[in-house]
Amino acid sequence: MKKIVRFSAVLMMLFFAISCACMKDKNTISGKVISVEFGKDGYTAKINTDKNEVYFALISIVNVGGPQNYKQLKEGEQVSLKGEIWKTETENHIKVKEIVSVK
């Protein structure tokens, strides 16, 4: 009985590790900044991805973890962003938690 419980626990941990690794890439987008619109607490950057999808990226100091992680993106830059992605009927959005790279 103890072996079955241990085996089940190991299987559950493996499943959890694999599912977390797979989800990592789903919350990342990369592409070119098309436009930037400033708001009250940050700005929204319109990103055209490598797959020709358009995302509206909400970027604020609070969401990226403080002023040390905050960067102001400019039109024409190539970026990689991580965050919470959601879709409406006509638009893709991402609340940016990390600005991975800017070129």
Phi/psi of residue 73, each to 5°? -80, 150
**pLDDT 10s digits, 81-101:** 999 999 999 999 999 999 999
Q: Which of 76, 72, 74, 81 is nearest to 100 (CA)?
A: 81
Which regions of the chain are under pLDDT 70? 5, 7, 11, 14-25
- Non-local CB neighbours of 69 within 8 Å, separated by 6+ positions: 98, 99
> In CATH, what class is 28-102?
mainly beta
Q: What is the pLDDT of residue 19?
A: 53
The ranges assigned to domains in the chain are: 28-102
Specify whether the backbone of 76 is left (phi greater than 0), alpha (psi in -120 to 50) or beta: left
Q: What is the pLDDT of residue 84?
A: 96
